Homo-oligomer: A and B are copies of this chain.
């Protein structure tokens, strides 16, 4: 059992069956085709898209999953060198239309729903997270240019980015301003020539430089010289590493890499620190209006937050299937009822505690993926319906973005940790992939906004915005799911449990709102991270109820043995979630309502020893 896994089942990193279950059975992807914007797509085409994504994941990305980890990027003479396969990967992504997948046809895109695009990216990320980040970031950066750039900028950048020749990045963070974007100090000096001169430093820039692309296009936040302090003085720029001169030749744009970071995981992609405009020759191109850059950037930020959640769920998926395969093959111990020590050992998957660990992983993986598909569906709906309905989906998406990002990321750590545990000592060794999944996972509660930031975003902004409208809409969504579930006798108990949980969530939310009124913002938000955890568990319970409705429908039909097993497994996983995970909200509710502002009253000097 110590040998490296190879071939067949052993290399499974995601369940296509589950992806199709979510797309076609739970979220009814095909129903989008009734809207003109998505009317050119049908089941056959979606199947081809999924097949193509799976083929690319299996043949191109997964074989170098370990290699990219073992040979991380290096900074050589000012140039970041990455795994030689990256250039080819970017081109394949470009040629396959994956970078432009969800862009409108008029911008040169494939006009695919986010649901199907994100399902494909789940495959890419599960196969090789680092490799999937290069095209993923490029797509997000391109969308900002498509949304906020003028015709000239769109013409210069979009084609090259869609084709994978140019890399896109998100350049927000600065050494002195990590989570605190209002403190950004990079400065843009206006010129009379239609561009700005940029000077400053950016750090932790994913794919911030590499030799797998001909150019790097930074979507960068900076302050126009003289702009007001704080969030209202920040503007958005496209700042390429190489600029296109009038003669069409690429010329160096005065952005240098001052260092790259040596990371615990996620080592296939470089994270760079950039020095911008040291020779006062870096040109940036304004996107959108001056001083409105933060709002623009949040379009990409929100998309990337869903991407982070998707990456986390996908890494957890890969680790889960590696563990599942091992547990099926590894003989160890006997049933507790077997007293004969000379009887053969059983595969460890026969032990209840191992099944519990596997159910946990499956509950996290499939629950997270379901929630991410839900968010993708909301996004798709905002593209096809008109106000005020459009506003409904926008609000739901905004509310659930921090939840989807964080649940998948935080629970992903625990899920990959349990994958290691299934392997025992072997899981701690590099012969198996799970230790890398565990390392790759740990970045997710940090990048694109830490869990603490997501908690404040949820409780301090999303729950209260528009007088709590998003929260009310969310309650309606859950109520509707419970109403449907109650038509199935097998789901009555789950619906009742969710009902109770939702009432707890409402109670806690109202009590916290009262705290905000009476005791002010600091105490109100002190435990926002715990509120987010609470919210995430209830939200994923709702997703498991939605999946349970779909599987009840399917189980009403005649099924093959393997299909019957699939649905039974789904049902057990749903039950697992309600029996083991949902009760965790009780402890959180108790803490969130006990009214003890402990962390506010704690003084830093009390940490004296």
Q: Which residues of A are at the interface with B, using a C-beta cutoff of 8 A?
A: 1-2, 15, 17-18, 173, 175-180, 182-183, 203-204, 229-231, 261-266, 271, 324, 328, 331-337, 341-342, 345, 347, 349-356, 358-359, 362, 413, 417, 420-421, 424-425, 427-431, 435, 438-439, 442-443, 445-447, 450-452, 455-456, 520-522, 525-530, 562, 565-566, 568-569, 572, 575-576, 579-580, 583-588, 590-591, 594, 596, 598-609
Contact = CB atoms under 8 A, between A and B. Distances in A.
Q: Which 6 A-B pairs have the closest CB atoms?
A: A230-B341, A569-B606, A583-B587, A352-B526, A586-B586, A264-B435
B607 A179 contact: no
Given A264-B430, A562-B608, 19 more contacts: A178-B332, A180-B333, A180-B334, A230-B341, A261-B431, A263-B430, A264-B435, A335-B522, A337-B520, A353-B526, A355-B604, A356-B526, A417-B442, A421-B451, A425-B447, A562-B609, A565-B608, A568-B603, A572-B602
Nearest to A16: B609
Contacts of A229: 341-342
Contact of A602 (B359, B528, B587): B359
Contact of A575 (B362, B447, B598): B598
A572 B598 contact: yes
A590 B583 contact: yes
A591 B579 contact: yes
Contacts of A265: 428
A293 to B, nearest CB: 15
Contact of A424 (B179, B576, B602): B179
B608 A596 contact: no
Contacts of A334: 180
A481 to B, nearest CB: 22
Given A526-B356, A602-B355, A580 B591 contact: yes
A420 to B, nearest CB: 7
A341 B428 contact: no
Contacts of A362: 607
A355 B417 CA distance: 25
A334 B456 CA distance: 14
B604 A356 contact: no
A583 B591 contact: yes
A468 to B, nearest CB: 20
Contacts of A579: 591, 594, 596, 598
A359 B600 CA distance: 12
A80 to B, nearest CB: 15
12 contacts: A2-B175, A229-B342, A264-B428, A350-B604, A352-B525, A356-B529, A420-B442, A435-B442, A438-B442, A572-B606, A579-B596, A585-B587
Contacts of A17: 609
Nearest to A266: B428
A4 to B, nearest CB: 12
Nearest to A587: B583
Nearest to A341: B230
A208 to B, nearest CB: 13
A353 B526 CA distance: 6
A370 to B, nearest CB: 15
B604 A328 contact: yes
A266 B352 CA distance: 30
A406 to B, nearest CB: 12
A444 to B, nearest CB: 10
Select the residue from A176, A182, A417, A609 with max chain B CB neighbours within 10 A. Answer: A609
B230 A605 contact: no
A341 B429 contact: no
A543 to B, nearest CB: 18
A604 B346 CA distance: 12
A421 B435 contact: no
Nearest to A443: B428
Nearest to A584: B587
A599 B355 contact: yes
Select the residue from A526, A600, A601, A604 with max chain B CB neighbours within 10 A. Answer: A604
Contacts of A427: 446
A579 B530 CA distance: 12
A569 B609 contact: yes
